[in-house]
Amino acid sequence: MYVRRLELVDFRSYPRCVVEFEPGCSVLVGPNGVGKTNLVEALGYVSTLDSHRVATDAPLVRAGATSAVIRSEIVHEHRSLSVELAIEPGKANRARLGGSPVRRARDVLGALRMVLFAPEDLALVRGDPAERRNYLDHLLVARQPRYAGVRADYERVLKQRNALLRTAYLARKTGAGTRDLSTLDVWDVHLASHGAELLAARLELCAALGPHIAKAYDAVAAGRGRAGIAYRSRVPIEPADRESLSAALSAALVESRPSEVERGMTLVGPHRDDLLLTLGELPAKGYASHGESWSMALALRLAAYELLRTEGIEPVLALDDVFAELDAGRRERLAELVGSAGQLLITCAVAEDVPAALRGARYEVSEGEVHRA
């Protein structure tokens, strides 16, 4: 799989931009702040419908414009597929696949499989649990796009359940009396069902990722520590089949209901879970040095990339401003790990930061423009 063409209209800093890519390695070079990251961010958005830099769509639209458009042409197994996304903050995004409109934007997920590593990925190690949950869920969808629907169903039920709890909480706080919470039982059934499906998939994914994370960290850090991953939930996760997990979620919801009514929110479920990342016997968060945190974050992305490859998916790999943060040894080891990628996109401010083995096609990026060197 590789991206042959990317066109941006009013996306970030680009009024309009067209870039033609090839398989193999492509290096995007330019000073900081000229828009290199915007290019890989746009492709990441096609892959996940999320930005790795911001939580909302509004910053993706160029100042003064009302919408942005991303058009991409993706080649997979000698077949070309076009994907177009129209981003309109405050409205549902519109999408076209193969030139035809699709009912939901998420129907384009799976057209481009991509793994992107960026400086923001330090949050996978040092940040909030939501960062690690998103890492898992995006990888779930890359493996099997149907999990975008599972995730959406769970979030829809969670939103409805939280709204009911919040209404009751506010009524009690303002002296407006009590609210009928009998429908919570119905939402509990749906939450347990959708939550169990999502939870079972996450657990299976963690098990599959474990060996790849250990191997990637060992390679990047040159054997200086053993990296591990474990899933953490307030719900018993053994056994990990859907029926058992659904029963465990149902029981946990019953047990936590008094606290949930008191606080006005859902306190158990996959939306509250976390990943425990370890180096040796210690958790990486709070104990890892800056260099170790970088290596762990990089290992998480490389593990995702290798897992997809072992399952017959050849994703696009993007490294955004990575080499400047690595010492010479880590640069060379990373180059060895990614040199065989079907398509590798690298952004950098200084071309010499990129190991010689990865200096393929070169693109010069300036304010609003990209030119093949």
Q: Is 36 annotated as ligand-binding?
A: yes
In a domain? residue 86 = yes
Q: Is 38 annotated as ligand-binding?
A: no
Of all residues in the chain, the percent with pLDDT exceeding 90 is 79
- Confidence tier at 157 by pLDDT (50, 70, 90): very high
Tell me if 120 sits within 8 A of 52, measured CB to CB: yes
For residue 68 the two structure tokens come to 């942005």
Q: Is 32 annotated as ligand-binding?
A: yes
In a domain? residue 46 = yes
CA atoms within 13 A on the CB side of 327: 8
pLDDT at 176: 66
pLDDT at 308: 95
Continuous segment of H or E residues that includes residue 228: strand 227-232
More confident residue, 251 or 328: 251
Q: Please give the distance of CA 205 from its chain centroid, rounded to a whole number.
A: 14
**In angstroms, rounded to a whole number, what is the distance separating the alpha carbons of residues 59 and 62?**
7
In a domain? residue 284 = no
In a domain? residue 307 = no
Of all residues in the chain, the percent with pLDDT exceeding 70 is 99
In the predicted model, what is the mean pLDDT of residues 316-333? 88
In the predicted model, what is the mean pLDDT of residues 30-39? 93
**Which own/partner pairs from 241-247 qualify as long-range (CB within 8 Å, at least 24 positions apart)?**
241/200, 242/196, 242/197, 242/200, 243/196, 245/195, 245/196, 245/199, 245/200, 246/192, 246/193, 246/195, 246/196, 247/192
- The tokens 């939402």 sit on which residue? 187
Residue (of 14, 17, 16, 12) closest to 57 by Cα position: 12
DSSP string, 67-123: -EEEEEEEEETTEEEEEEEEE-TTS--EEEETTEE-SSGGGGTTSS-EEEE-GGGHH
In a domain? residue 199 = no
- Could you tell me the residue range of the domain that residue 331 belongs to? 1-113+314-373
More confident residue, 179 or 153: 153
In a domain? residue 352 = yes
Q: What is the tally of structural domains in the chain?
A: 1
pLDDT at 224: 77
Q: In the predicted model, what is the mean pLDDT of the chain? A: 93
H helix intervals, the chain: 36-48, 122-126, 129-143, 147-173, 184-220, 242-263, 290-310, 328-338
Q: Is 33 annotated as ligand-binding?
A: yes
In the predicted model, what is the mean pLDDT of residues 77-97? 93
In a domain? residue 87 = yes
pLDDT at 109: 94
pLDDT tens-digit map of 171-199: 877 776 666 778 899 999 999 999 999 99
Does the pLDDT at position 332 exceed 90? no
In the predicted model, what is the mean pLDDT of residues 41-49? 96
In a domain? residue 294 = no
More confident residue, 213 or 181: 213
More confident residue, 78 or 107: 107
pLDDT tens-digit map of 14-25: 999 999 999 999
Q: Is 37 annotated as ligand-binding?
A: yes
CA atoms within 13 A on the CB side of 196: 22
Tell me if 302 sits within 8 A of 337, measured CB to CB: yes
Q: What is the CATH number of the domain that holds 89?
A: 3.40.50.300
pLDDT at 172: 79
Q: Is 173 annotated as ligand-binding?
A: no
Question: Of 21-30, 88-97, 173-182, 337-346, which range is least confident?
Answer: 173-182
Q: Is 342 annotated as ligand-binding?
A: no
Angle at which helices 290-310 and 184-220 cross, to 10°: 100
* φ/ψ (deg, to 5) at 234: -80, -10
For residue 338 the two structure tokens come to 């990614």
Q: Please give the distance of CA 156 from its chain centroid, rounded to a whole number.
A: 19
Tell me if 285 sits within 8 A of 129, measured CB to CB: no
Q: Is 269 annotated as ligand-binding?
A: no
pLDDT tens-digit map of 247-282: 999 999 999 999 999 999 999 999 999 999 999 999
More confident residue, 224 or 121: 121
pLDDT at 276: 97
Tell me if 68 sits within 8 A of 93, measured CB to CB: no
pLDDT at 367: 84
Q: Residue 230: CB partners within 8 Å, gap ≥ 6?
A: 206, 275, 276, 278
For residue 313 the two structure tokens come to 């998916």
